[in-house]
Structure 1
Amino acid sequence: MSSSIRPSSDRLLSLDAFRGFAIAAMLLVNNPGDWSALFHPLDHAEWHGWTFTDWIFPFFVFISGISMSFSLARRGQIADRRAVLLHTWRRGATIIALGLLLNLFPYFHFESFRIPGVLQRLGLITLLAAPIALWCGWRAQLAWFLGLLAAYGLVQTVVAVPDAQGVWHRGSLLPGEDVGAWLDRTLLGGHLWVRSKTWDPEGLLSTVPAVASQIAGLLAGRWLALRGRDPAEKATWFMVAGLLCLWAAQVLDAWTLPINKNLWTPAYVFLCTGWGCLVFGVFYWLLDAAPLPRLCDAMARRFQPLVVLGMNALFLFALSGLVARLLGLIHVAEGVSLKAWLYAPIKALPVDARVASLLFALGFVLVFYGIARAMWARGWFVKV
């Protein structure tokens, strides 16, 4: 296999491709030409339920768990586990700091900026999951996974809290009325998502089941690392596990807390873990486990753009957030932002407004693929 396709022998090509798929999807859904003109799958579910867009963040969490399993296992073999833990905690803290910096930019209003965020959650679950990854076997990790989901579901069901108007609720999952929303208002009041103000989709309490999503990735990583198992068998069991998780998600959705991304409910964890296993299982079989080497080689060439994106995913996500904000802040004329100026020719095309909005997003993805490709060609890989 050409080194230009497989960057190094110790990397799992399918994991890079899956990560690239996730970052490409995130760039696509986060940067439409017009937020009021979206195809339904390219927008989050309004509350309960899910769309394609609701896959993406949990996929990053699942991938992070797989990567953590590999990384900590490798480091733990050659270094003291406490030193490895401190290194991982520094990485998590750096990701949190980067997320806070992006939320502060460009005005740096410390009294009102949003504290939670996507990068903040990724960093926080890295801090919380690292000890579990280092000191727990697969049975203990499974117990943590189930225990965190059960504890979260119990708290959300039985604890009574007041809403923003002071009305008390027990077990309510309406926006701003659940326990997580109350906790966020109590501890982070004035620093929540500007579109809601009384709750946050990356709030504190819902980070608990997000850690469970990370642990699902840890378990997937342990399965991948098992010796003596045929790769095709591993890929098959990813498919089986994915289907079982989707079945569990439907049961939980019907009988307990419904599927809800903003609340990161247990049903949502199983749903996204199930889809994560299925999508990654396909990548793994095609790129690493297929019994015909020529097939793997052909698929490696086909999926190289995703691999290129996946090898600098965190950098690309952070840069895209910065660029998207600058496109709205920079004005080329009175009342005309740089984004509006760039979008105007596309918006003028004789197509549906949703198609025009999608075309702008696709252009955004292509620009960032160009950046990723240039970095990859020069061997520039940004690590935190």
Structure 2
Amino acid sequence: MQKRFYSLDVFRGATVAFMILVNNPGSWSNLYAPLAHASWHGCTPTDLVFPFFLFAVGNALAFVMPRLEQAGTAAFLKKAITRSPLIFLIGFFLNWSPFIRWDNEQLVFKAWEYAGPNGTLTGIRILGVLQRIALCYLFASLIIYFFKIRGAFVTSIVLLLGYWMLCMLLGNPADPYSLNGYFGVGIDKAILGESHMYHGEGVAFDPEGISSTLTSIVQVIFGYFVGFYIQQKGKNFDMLAHLFAAGCILIFTGFVWDMVFPINKKIWTSSYVLYTTGLATLLLSVCIFFIEFKETKGWWSRFFDVFGKNALFIYFLSGFLPRVLAIFRWVDHIDEEGKKVYTSTLPWFYQHVCKPVSDNLKNGSLLYAICMIIFYWLIVYVMDKKKIYIKV
């Protein structure tokens, strides 16, 4: 097996760092446009983070798969069937954590289902980012192991085209790619239940839903193809040129498909898979050129590298820690109506340190996000120094 390319680790670490940046603004109401998701169709830089991470999962799988194949089917199945449920359960634990919540002036147990602030029934969300990673890793690894390269490629085409057909045939004929017309919403409601779905769109709709997982699996498979090709070709300009060309072709194909099947992260359309995979391949080829060929390693590559070495752990911590800290709150001030306004550690830091730096509230929100990146980087930097790597 070829030596692992350092640029792949930097690529994964940069993706994790950007994921922390976009997931931890000081205020969700004050975001610069590139740091917000597209409202529906379209793609912003923020919409690239999750597919890039799945692409990186596929890259890593390409370097692990030969060892799993040598170990035999039983060892492979044990690894896949053990790792995937564990990642899924960690994501589910994150959704439920910290298991208690404030209800007016009292801390109460966060039940499986409970009445929300407006009286509607709400509950613990079942799916999420880590859950999707778990499902994609499981099915992609099974497809690659048993169907090999050619079979995995055919399966990917079937999934991309099949999902398109499902959207057209099962969705609302008036607009099958809209929030109200998308067929996957009904499936998620029937299986998960509305109270256990995401409600960020104002209604029950899960951007990591069951149906759109079909195409996200392909993102991992395509990442595997790129990692496999890098291993086979080795460090040479032919490999780099072919990667760059493949990225351009995928982007072009995604744009063409966008004319009839819009690029959309929230329902993870097939055109979105091709477009984001193309961009990931281009960016990775640029990283390989500068890091492997020009050897321009330095503080910047080291900064991202440590994120990549504990990627899942630091993503989990960046979601878990704010939830835990929010439990410990105090009265910040009394509003004009005489009501107590509570705060906790991180909101206080944003309101009293980051927000006052500029009249433009977007600057304060961005400063807070950058501070969070630096904070979590210090954690993974110390872990790397002590050779502590938490693997799942």
TM (normalized to structure 2)?
0.88
Q: What's the counterpart of residue 46 of structure 2?
A: 53
State which drifts further: 67-76 or 271-280: 67-76
1:83 to 75, 81, 87: 75
Q: Percent identity?
A: 32
For each residue in 1:152-176, what CA deviation from the matched residue of structure 2 results, as whole angstroms up to 9, or x when unmatched?
Answer: 000000125xxxxxxx656522214
CA contact (8 A) 1:38 1:354 kept: yes
Partner AA of 1:158 in structure 2:
L
Q: What's the counterpart of residue 339 of structure 2?
A: none
What is the alpha-carbon distance in structure 2 between the residues aligned to residue 330 and residue 15 of structure 1? 39
CA contact (8 A) 2:159 2:218 kept: yes
1:363 to 347, 357, 371: 371
Per-residue deviation, 1:233? 1.9
1:92 to 58, 61, 84: 84
1:277 to 255, 276, 281: 281
Per-residue deviation, 1:178? 1.0
Matched, 1:203 2:209: yes
CA contact (8 A) 2:37 2:47 kept: yes
Q: What's the counterpart of residue 258 of structure 2?
A: 253
CA contact (8 A) 2:197 2:206 kept: yes
For each residue in 1:125-176, what CA deviation from the matched residue of structure 2 results, as whole angstroms up to 9, or x when unmatched?
Answer: 111111112122322221111110000000000125xxxxxxx656522214
Q: Structure 2: any 5+ residue segments left out of the alignment?
A: 100-109, 114-122, 333-341
Partner AA of 1:341 in structure 2:
W
Q: What's the counterpart of residue 241 of structure 2?
A: 236
CA gap 1:126/1:350 in 2 versus in 1, 3 angstroms: closer
Partner AA of 2:223 in structure 1:
G
What is the alpha-carbon distance in structure 2 between the residues aligned to residue 231 and residue 301 of structure 1? 25
2:297 counterpart SS class:
helix
CA gap 1:302/1:34 in 2 versus in 1, 3 angstroms: closer
Partner AA of 1:232 in structure 2:
F
Q: What's the counterpart of residue 229 of structure 2?
A: 223
1:109 to 108, 111, 121: 111
Per-residue deviation, 1:238? 1.4
Q: What's the counterpart of residue 342 of structure 1?
A: 349
1:332 counterpart SS class:
strand
Per-residue deviation, 1:76? 1.4
2:308 to 304, 310, 322: 310
Per-residue deviation, 1:210? 0.3
What is the alpha-carbon distance in structure 2 between the residues aligned to residue 32 and residue 207 of structure 1? 27
Partner AA of 1:105 in structure 2:
S
CA contact (8 A) 1:287 1:300 kept: no
What is the alpha-carbon distance in structure 2 between the residues aligned to residue 216 and residue 140 of structure 1? 13
Per-residue deviation, 1:45? 0.3
Per-residue deviation, 1:109? 2.3
RMSD of the TM alignment (CA)? 1.7
CA contact (8 A) 1:104 1:113 kept: yes
For each residue in 1:239-271, what CA deviation from the matched residue of structure 2 results, as whole angstroms up to 9, or x when unmatched?
Answer: 1111111101110001x2100000000110011
CA contact (8 A) 2:187 2:211 kept: yes
Per-residue deviation, 1:184? 0.5
Matched, 1:321 2:319: yes
Partner AA of 1:285 in structure 2:
F
CA contact (8 A) 1:98 1:119 kept: yes
Mapping of residues 147-162 of structure 1, within 5 Å:
147-160=158-171
2:357 counterpart SS class:
coil
What is the aligned length?
Answer: 360
CA gap 1:145/1:209 in 2 versus in 1, 3 angstroms: same
CA contact (8 A) 1:62 1:214 kept: yes
What is the alpha-carbon distance in structure 1 between the residues aligned to residue 326 and residue 236 of structure 2? 47
1:299 counterpart SS class:
coil
For each residue in 1:25-51, what CA deviation from the matched residue of structure 2 results, as whole angstroms up to 9, or x when unmatched?
Answer: 001000011110000000000000010
What is the alpha-carbon distance in structure 2 between the residues aligned to residue 237 and residue 300 of structure 1? 27
State which drifts further: 135-144 or 239-248: 135-144
Partner AA of 1:235 in structure 2:
L
1:336 counterpart SS class:
strand
Per-residue deviation, 1:348? 1.2
CA contact (8 A) 2:55 2:219 kept: yes
Partner AA of 1:82 in structure 2:
A
Q: Structure 1: any 5+ residue segments left out of the alignment?
A: 1-8, 161-167
State which drifts further: 141-150 or 360-369: 141-150
